[in-house]
C-alpha cells in the first residue's frame, strides 16, 4: 500500500467559528486516527490579568458574540460569590429571562441557519445550494419564521440587556434597570407569537428528523458521561446543582457551582488551540463527558413547562435514558428552544418581574469564586481569584466546547471509519463528518478563533507530500 496518509478538511463550514479536520490513515489505508482542531487563539486568559473587577464582566463577554449573555452572567455570578452578595428574586428572574432570550436567539440560528439545510436537502444534492438562503428562496415563510423567532430572543436581550449582542445590564448586585410594565406587555405579546412559531418549528423538525433518521442515526454513538445543571430533577439554565450521570444513567455525583473546579480538569494537545476538559476522578481519557442539549435531557427527569416536558418524555422513551446518538443533539436542541420560549412566556406573565428592587449594594473584597450557568452549548464555568484591591489575579474558564472536544474527535473518527476502507473514500464523507461536528454546534470562538483555508480534502503521504486533492 502507499504508507501513512493524512486527509484534511478545512474550514469546516456552517458552524460558529471554524475548525479543521485531519484524518490519519494507516499503512493499509484504514483510519488510524482523526482530529478536529481549533486553529484560533486570542489569549483572553492572559491579557485579562490585572483587570479591575468593575470592567471584567462586560469585557470577558467579548469572548463570544453568540453566547455572550451566558459569559457575562457566569462572570458576574463568580464575582458575586466572592463578594458574598445575595441578589433579589426580581434580579434572578430577569437574569433567567436574559438567558432564555439568548437560548432563543442562538438556537433559532443554529436550528434554522446551520443544521436545517442538512435535513431539508438530501445529502447528495449540490452542496452550494445546501443553505438557509436557498430555503428562503424556496419557502419564504420558513425564513420569515426563523427571523421572527430570532428577533424575539434579540428583543429580550435588547430590552433587559440594553444591547442585542454583548449585553451589559447584568452587574454584580443584580440588574442595572428594572423592566417597565409597558415593556413587559410588549414582550409578552411577542412571546405568544413566538410560542406558536416554536411549536411549528418543533413539528417541522420532528417530521424532517423522522424522514432522515434511518440514514443519519449511524453517525456517532458514543457512550459517555453527561453533565448539566439540575434543579429538583428539572432542566434549569441559571441555578441549581451540577449533576453528572454515567453512560447507564446512574447519578455519579452532584455538587454546587463552588465545587465545580474540583471535578473538572483541563488538558492541552499540541495540535489544537482549544483545550480539553474531563472529569478529574476518572482521569484522562476515561473521564470524557458531554454537555449540551442532549445532556440536559439525559441528566434531568423533567422540565417545568408543559409542551417541552411532553416532548422530553417522548424523546426519552424513543431514544433511551440516557440517549447517546450524536445526531439527537439537533432534536434535543428543538426541545431546548421550546422550553426557552415557554419559560420566557411564563416569566413575563408574572407581573412581579417588573418590581424595581433589581439591585443590592455590593461590598468588594478579594477571594476565589466560581460562576456556573447553562450556555446554549452546555455547562459554562468561570473561576476568578480577585486580589484585595479588586483586580483579577487568576482566572480559569471551562467552556462547553472544551468539554465536548474529545467527544467531537471520537465522533469524527467514527464517521471517517465508516466512509474510508482500504484507502477508498466513499462519497458523502465530507458532509457526514461536518454534520456530526455541526450537531455539537461547537463554538470555536469561545474556545479560541477561525483560520479560513480553502475547503479541500487533501490526501498526503507520510512525508506530507500531496497525493490527491478531492
CB of 308 to another protein, least distance (A): 24
Contact at 8 Å (CB) between 17 and 442? yes
Q: Which residue number, 55 or 310, has a Cβ lying nearer to another protein? A: 55
d(CA 34, CA 436): 13
Contact at 8 Å (CB) between 266 and 284? no
CB of 129 to another protein, least distance (A): 9
Q: In which order are the strands placed within the sheet that holds 31-38?
A: 31-38, 19-25, 5-10, 456-460, 466-469
CB of 7 to another protein, least distance (A): 13
CB of 66 to another protein, least distance (A): 5
Residue 284: CB partners within 8 Å, gap ≥ 6? 265, 267, 276, 278
Q: In which order are the strands placed within the sheet that holds 367-375?
A: 367-375, 378-386, 392-398
Q: Which residue number, 206 or 267, has a Cβ lying nearer to another protein? A: 267
d(CA 377, CA 228): 11
CB of 17 to another protein, least distance (A): 6
Query: What are the CA-CA distances from residue 403 to residues 49, 63, 224, 288, 366 (Å)?
Result: 24, 17, 12, 8, 29
Q: Which residue number, 105 or 309, has a Cβ lying nearer to another protein? A: 105
Query: What are the CA-CA distances from residue 155 to residues 101, 205, 393, 412 (Å)?
Result: 8, 24, 36, 37
Residue 44: CB partners within 8 Å, gap ≥ 6? 60, 63, 397
Contact at 8 Å (CB) between 2 and 431? no
CB of 415 to another protein, least distance (A): 16
Q: Which residue number, 210 or 389, has a Cβ lying nearer to another protein? A: 389
Contact at 8 Å (CB) between 29 and 422? yes
CB of 178 to another protein, least distance (A): 11
CB of 234 to another protein, least distance (A): 29
C-alpha cell at 90: 426580581
Q: Which residue number, 244 or 362, has a Cβ lying nearer to another protein? A: 362
How wide is the angle at C-alpha 187 spanned by C-alphas 360 and 150, nearest 5°? 105
CB of 65 to another protein, least distance (A): 2
Cβ neighbour number for residue 186 with a 10 Å cutoff: 14
How wide is the angle at C-alpha 338 spanned by C-alphas 208 and 103, nearest 5°? 105
CB of 340 to another protein, least distance (A): 17
d(CA 286, CA 282): 6
C-alpha cell at 204: 417541522
Q: Which residue number, 297 or 444, has a Cβ lying nearer to another protein? A: 444
Q: Which residue number, 78 or 114, has a Cβ lying nearer to another protein? A: 114
CB of 303 to another protein, least distance (A): 26
Cα atoms in the 13 Å half-sphere on the side-chain side of 450: 16
d(CA 135, CA 119): 11
Q: Which residue number, 370 or 443, has a Cβ lying nearer to another protein? A: 443
Angle, nearest 10°, between helix axes 181-216 and 306-319?
A: 10
Q: Which residue number, 52 or 192, has a Cβ lying nearer to another protein? A: 52
Q: Which residue number, 180 or 321, has a Cβ lying nearer to another protein? A: 180
Q: Which helix (H) or strand (E) holds 82?
A: helix 68-83
Q: Which residue number, 180 or 421, has a Cβ lying nearer to another protein? A: 180
Amino acid at each position: 500500500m502507499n504508507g501513512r496518509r493524512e486527509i484534511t478538511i478545512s474550514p469546516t463550514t456552517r458552524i460558529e467559528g471554524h475548525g479543521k479536520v485531519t484524518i490519519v490513515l494507516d499503512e493499509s489505508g484504514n483510519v488510524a486516527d482523526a482530529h478536529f482542531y481549533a486553529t484560533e487563539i486570542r489569549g483572553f486568559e492572559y491579557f485579562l490579568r490585572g483587570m479591575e473587577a468593575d470592567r471584567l464582566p462586560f469585557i470577558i463577554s467579548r469572548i463570544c458574540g453568540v453566547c455572550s449573555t451566558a459569559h457575562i452572567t457566569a462572570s458576574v455570578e463568580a464575582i458575586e460569590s466572592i463578594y458574598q452578595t445575595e441578589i433579589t428574586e426580581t434580579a434572578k428572574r430577569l437574569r433567567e429571562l436574559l438567558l432564555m432570550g439568548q437560548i432563543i436567539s442562538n438556537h433559532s440560528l443554529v436550528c434554522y441557519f446551520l443544521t436545517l439545510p442538512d435535513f431539508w436537502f438530501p445529502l447528495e444534492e449540490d452542496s452550494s445550494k445546501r443553505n438557509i438562503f436557498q430555503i428562503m428562496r424556496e419557502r419564504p415563510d420558513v425564513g420569515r419564521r426563523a427571523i421572527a423567532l430570532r428577533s424575539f430572543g434579540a428583543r429580550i436581550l435588547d430590552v433587559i440587556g440594553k444591547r442585542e449582542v454583548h449585553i451589559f445590564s447584568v452587574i454584580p448586585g443584580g440588574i442595572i434597570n428594572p423592566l417597565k410594565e409597558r415593556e413587559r406587555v410588549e414582550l409578552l405579546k411577542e412571546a405568544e407569537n413566538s410560542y406558536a412559531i416554536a411549536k411549528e418549528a418543533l413539528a417541522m423538525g420532528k417530521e424532517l428528523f423522522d424522514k432522515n433518521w434511518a440514514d443519519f442515526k449511524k453517525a456517532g454513538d458514543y457512550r459517555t458521561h453527561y453533565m448539566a445543571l439540575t434543579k429538583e430533577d428539572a432542566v434549569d439554565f441559571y441555578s441549581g446543582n451540577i449533576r453528572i450521570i454515567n453512560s447507564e444513567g446512574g447519578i455519579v455525583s452532584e455538587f454546587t457551582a463552588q465545587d465545580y473546579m474540583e471535578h473538572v480538569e483541563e488538558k492541552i494537545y499540541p495540535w489544537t488551540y482549544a483545550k480539553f476538559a474531563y472529569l478529574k476522578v476518572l482521569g484522562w481519557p476515561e473521564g470524557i463527558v458531554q454537555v449540551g442539549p442532549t445532556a440536559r435531557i439525559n441528566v434531568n427527569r423533567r422540565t417545568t413547562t408543559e409542551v417541552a416536558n411532553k416532548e422530553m418524555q417522548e424523546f426519552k422513551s424513543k431514544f433511551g435514558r440516557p440517549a447517546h446518538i450524536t445526531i439527537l443533539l439537533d432534536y434535543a436542541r428543538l426541545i431546548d428552544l421550546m422550553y426557552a420560549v415557554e419559560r420566557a412566556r411564563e416569566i413575563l406573565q408574572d407581573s412581579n418581574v417588573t418590581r424595581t428592587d433589581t439591585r443590592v449594594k455590593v461590598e468588594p473584597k478579594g477571594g476565589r469564586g466560581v460562576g456556573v450557568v447553562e450556555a446554549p452549548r452546555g455547562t459554562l464555568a468561570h473561576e476568578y481569584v480577585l486580589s484585595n484591591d479588586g483586580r483579577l489575579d487568576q482566572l480559569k474558564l471551562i467552556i462547553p466546547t472544551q468539554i465536548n472536544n474529545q467527544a467531537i474527535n471520537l465522533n469524527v473518527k467514527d464517521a471517517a471509519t465508516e466512509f474510508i476502507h482500504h484507502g477508498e473514500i466513499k462519497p458523502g464523507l465530507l458532509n457526514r463528518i461536518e454534520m456530526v461536528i455541526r450537531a455539537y454546534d461547537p463554538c470555536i470562538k469561545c474556545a479560541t478563533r477561525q483560520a479560513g483555508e480553502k475547503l479541500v480534502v487533501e490526501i498526503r503521504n507520510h512525508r506530507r507530500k500531496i497525493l490527491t486533492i478531492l
